[in-house]
Amino acid sequence: MPNIFKKPTMSGHLWVIYTISLILLGFIWYYQWMLGLMMMLLLAGSIFYSVRTEQNMINETEEYISTLSYRVKKVGEEALLEMPIGIVLYSEDYKVEWANPYMNKFTKEDTIVGESLNDLSDDLVSYIKEDHGEVWLEIDEYKLQTLVKRDERLLYFFDRTNQTKIHNLYKNEQTVLSIIFLDNYEEITQGMDDTAKSQINSQVTSILNKWAGDYGIYLKRTSQERFMAVMNQEILQALERNKFDILDDVRELITDQNVPLTLSYGIGVGPVSLLSPVLT
């Protein structure tokens, strides 16, 4: 590779030297024309060599820059068209003016050029207007991290679907511990005979075991009035969505047997915080 930072061969100080040499050559020519002729030929050869070397250097530099520019342009074009990042240019009225082929992965259409950004996501235009620099979008089954370049009217889409699935899987599989306490079990059963006490105990155990089996919870009785439940975050979210429907079964038992039984939950979530609602 030529050294494009090298100074030209015929720099200013060389021209000064050649000028002085010509003056001295004139004196030599005046006194010894034969010697002057020889010196003149040598000086002419030196000047010719210097000029030719400089021209070759200029030609090599121009050729190198031209080749480098072509390579950079080609790499840029290939990056835009082939790299696994969605790129969209949009107009002032938020319509797609250009999109690279990778964007076709996220849509069922052959091209999205001319479509509104709202066709990609209902919230995308509002995010741009609110000057969000980074937003997360959900397009069909894809989770996309989107970088917004508002001044350039440019969007970058990064497919984070697999990372999101792994994150959710890790989060959902985190262990959750729960303590279920029959608050007034001792008081209720204190005045009962063995048959009634056994019946209440059997009904409570049956209700809790069925509830645990329905949700895939590991349940272990640690004492007469206390149970330990082991589950994960996904199961806990299902319990929250169903508003801990075990309470409905307990209320039904209270109604049928006229037994004022109450339950208390203690749920340990995460490494630090504890969520301990009391449910009756």
The residue that leads in pLDDT, 47 or 266, is: 266
Residue entry with tokens 């002032």: 92
What DSSP element (H or E) covers 15? helix 12-31
Asked if residue 206 is part of any domain, the answer here is yes
Which residue in this structure is represented by tokens 């050029």?
113
| CB atoms near residue 211 (< 10 Å) | 20
pLDDT of residue 5: 45
Q: Rounded to whole angstroms, how far apart are CA atoms 231 and 217? A: 5
pLDDT reading at 52 higher than 90: no
To the nearest whole number, what is the mean pLDDT of the chain? Answer: 79
Token pair belonging to 124: 């995308």
Do 222 and 204 reside in the same domain of the chain? Answer: yes
pLDDT at 36: 67
Amino acid at 204: V
pLDDT at 231 over 50: yes
Question: Do 266 and 187 belong to one domain?
Answer: yes
| Confidence at residue 137, expressed as pLDDT on a 0 to 100 scale | 92
Would you say residue 47 has pLDDT above 50? Answer: yes
Q: Which two tokens stand for residue 33?
A: 């024309």
Q: What percent of the chain has pLDDT over 90?
A: 18
Residue 217 confidence (pLDDT): 92
On the 0-12 / 13-18 / 19+ scale of CB atoms within 10 A, 95 is middle
Are residues 68 and 106 both part of a single domain? no
Are residues 77 and 17 both part of a single domain?
A: yes
Same-domain pairing of 252 and 185: yes
Token digits of residue 210: 């069925």
pLDDT at 279: 42
The whole-model pTM stands at: 0.53
Give backbone dihedrals phi and psi of 237, rounded to 5 degrees, phi first: -65, -35
CATH number for the domain that contains residue 135: 3.30.450.20
Number of structural domains (the chain) is: 3
Q: What is the CATH number of the domain that holds 225?
A: 3.30.70.1230
Q: Is residue 7 part of a domain?
A: no
State the Cα–Cα distance between residues 37 and 236, nearest whole angstrom. 104
155 and 100 within one domain: yes
Domain end position, chosen among 164, 190, 224:
164
Instruction: Give the pLDDT score at 75.
Output: 62
3-class DSSP assignment, residue 124: helix
Identify which has the larger pLDDT, 198 or 3: 198
Q: Is residue 36 part of a domain?
A: yes
Q: How far apart are CA 86 and CA 124, in angstroms?
A: 15
**Does residue 123 have a pLDDT over 60?**
yes
> Considering 41, 59, 81, which residue would you say is the last residue of a domain?
81
Question: Is the pLDDT score of 102 beyond 60?
Answer: yes
Residue 124 or residue 244, greater confidence:
124
Specify if 5 maps to a domain. no
DSSP 275: E
Which of the pair, 64 or 126, is modelled with greater confidence? 126
In the chain, DSSP assigns E strands to: 86-90, 96-99, 134-139, 142-149, 154-159, 175-182, 218-223, 226-232, 263-268, 274-275
pLDDT tens digits, residue range 233-265? 999 999 888 888 887 777 777 666 677 777 788
pLDDT, one tens digit per residue, over 180-217 is 888 777 877 777 777 877 888 888 888 889 889 999 99
Same domain, 179 and 257: yes
Query: Tell me: the pLDDT tens digits for 162-189?
Result: 998 998 888 888 889 999 888 777 877 7
Q: What is the mean pLDDT of residues 84-112?
A: 87
**Structural domain ending residue among the three candidates 26, 47, 81:** 81
Residue 17 in tokens: 């030297």
Parent domain of 137 = 86-164
6 is a domain residue: no
